A and B are shown apart, each in its own frame.
Chain A
Amino acid sequence: MRASFVFSEVVTGLRRNVTMTVAMIITTAISLGLLGGGLLIVRLIDKMSEIYYDRVEVAVFLTEDVSTNDVTCTQEPCIDLRRDLESTPGVESVVLETREQAYERFKQIFEAQPELVELARPQALPASFRVKLADPERFPVIEQEFSGQPGVLSVKDQGTFLERLFELLNGIRNATFAIALVQALAAVLLISNTIQISAYTRRTEVGIMRLVGATRWYTQLPFLIEALVAGVIGAIAAVVGLVIAKFAFLDRILAAPIEANIIPRLGLLDVAFVSPILLLVAIGISAVTGYVTLRLYVRL
């Protein structure tokens, strides 16, 4: 196989169909960019679960009475509650958070909104037991056992909030994948169409090649490589797009939550992790589409 010949055929082909080639690259890039975005969200979700599942606690809020009068938890019913919680199977640790501590934490969380801190008083916040569970799924048991007990105001699972957050993220991920899929379909059709046009504009060459006994590979390879080159350029464009989106968009919009460690930072490393996947998908899609098109629609 003469590489120089195949190469020059590919360059000619891409140049001759420049508008279709550009359309093909753009569509592929958008599709892959969305796929990459979806994959980045998957990584974000993974990272978030790591951060949060460590922190997930069940909060057993204490009544006004206990919060005010038994700050150190040395009296009934607080002391009983603590003992019961500690002896419940699956409970890892029980920490008392007093009203003052709750207020400190409140101030810290809402640092950015001083007017809110201004309004809040320690008296408005209940004391609580911060209960860490070995298995966060065990929350219903704790809730059942302790709500309504004397001295208990309410039992809250921070996990429910997280679940909603994760549901939202999963939804965004699915939507991204869905759009990526539709775009991928468009990309596949464009690749197929471009190859057909390319084969048509070069029908004289292809006819002569067939006639003088060029093998199937020789006749088809230039078209396949054309599709591959466009696919790879599309993948590179998608990666560049993701990097730009990260710096110009994500980092800026999410600056505050990232600083507060609510959302983990997506680094260039994450983009680097996703890039080879995009490249492989691009190569796979264009190769398969090219091959099938040549087989089905183009008589070579």
Chain B
Amino acid sequence: MIRLDEVSKVYKTSTRPALDRVSVEVDKGEFVFLIGPSGSGKSTFLRLLLREDVPTRGNVFVHDWNVAKLPRRKVPQLRQRIGCVFQDFRLLVNKTVAENIAFALEVIGKPAHTIRKVVPEVLELVGLEGKADRMPHELSGGEQQRVAIARAFVNRPLLLMADEPTGNLDPDTSQDIMLLLERINRTGTTVLMATHDHSIVDSMRRRVVELNLGQVIRDESRGVYGVGR
């Protein structure tokens, strides 16, 4: 599903590489935590997968795409198969819940009848059946993140990437969000989640890839957040 071969990324403004000869392989349907302190290269990792950036050296593969060498006009195809969730939800404040989700389909040219069908389905999946016509500011943080997850998932991506999805949420709500991500993972979608949240990583017991100073320092199949720390 995902393969990084000896990937390095050096930003022009920095002397130290953001990623330093990173090689990671993730299979289809896996649930992977990407952990590490700020500046360890987690965000760069995610950006390379999305083709927001290209690596300085090495190759990045997602599904069938050689991401680093993907021509610009094919980047949308890649991104249509990757769902993204962020700490700050990134909802459109002037659109309702249903419109926010529909927006993701409208802008990739999905027909109206498809949108009318799949939006209620995905709202049910994330547990927001009754809130289709609410505005984002009327929702709690957890509910807003559910909307964001629904938007990321509505086009049935191969890969769901979550960048600190629980960073703004209290522990109970975070647990609910993790249950939702787990449910999505069970549909066969690969989930890659960058996080700082010890308790979540420890309780989920999933694969953990730890980065530090741009290097992979740990890759355990059923890991916890900090071993021996």
- List chain A positions with a Cβ less than 8 A from chain B: 1-2, 5, 204-205, 207-216, 218-219
When distances are taken between beta carbons in the complex, the residues of chain A under 8 Å from B111 are: 2
When distances are taken between beta carbons in the complex, the residues of chain A under 8 Å from B151 are: 208, 212
- List chain B positions with a Cβ less than 8 A from chain A: 50, 72-73, 75-82, 84, 90, 92, 103-104, 106-109, 111-112, 151, 155
Does B80 contact A211, Cβ atoms closer than 8 Å? Answer: no
A163 CB to closest chain B CB (Å) equals 58
Partner of A213, one of B92, B103, B108: B108
Can you sample 30 A-B contacts with CB below 8 Å? Answer: A1-B109, A2-B106, A2-B109, A5-B106, A5-B107, A205-B92, A207-B90, A208-B90, A208-B92, A208-B103, A210-B79, A211-B84, A212-B79, A212-B80, A212-B84, A212-B155, A213-B75, A213-B76, A213-B77, A213-B78, A213-B79, A213-B80, A213-B81, A214-B76, A214-B107, A214-B108, A215-B109, A216-B73, A218-B107, A218-B109
Looking at A1, A5, A208, A209, which has the most chain B CB atoms within 10 Å of its CB?
Answer: A208
When distances are taken between beta carbons in the complex, the residues of chain B under 8 Å from A210 are: 79
Does A212 contact B107, Cβ atoms closer than 8 Å? Answer: yes
Known: A213-B75, A214-B108, A219-B107. 16 other contacts (CB 8 A): A5-B107, A208-B90, A208-B92, A210-B79, A211-B79, A212-B155, A213-B77, A213-B78, A213-B82, A215-B73, A215-B76, A216-B73, A216-B76, A218-B107, A218-B108, A218-B109
Looking at A5, A215, A216, which has the most chain B CB atoms within 10 Å of its CB?
Answer: A215
B49 CB to closest chain A CB (Å) equals 12
Give Cα distance in the complex from A213 to B50, angstroms: 10
Give Cα distance in the complex from A216 to B81, angstroms: 17
Looking at A2, A210, A211, which has the most chain B CB atoms within 10 Å of its CB?
Answer: A211
When distances are taken between beta carbons in the complex, the residues of chain A under 8 Å from B76 are: 213-216
A72 CB to closest chain B CB (Å) equals 88
Nearest A-chain residue to B83, judged by Cβ: A212
A238 CB to closest chain B CB (Å) equals 34
A245 CB to closest chain B CB (Å) equals 42
Nearest A-chain residue to B86, judged by Cβ: A211
When distances are taken between beta carbons in the complex, the residues of chain A under 8 Å from B75 are: 213
Nearest A-chain residue to B82, judged by Cβ: A213
When distances are taken between beta carbons in the complex, the residues of chain A under 8 Å from B78 are: 213
Nearest 9 A-B pairs (CB), nearest first? A213-B80, A213-B79, A214-B107, A213-B76, A212-B104, A209-B107, A215-B76, A5-B106, A211-B84
Nearest B-chain residue to A12, judged by Cβ: B94
B137 CB to closest chain A CB (Å) equals 14
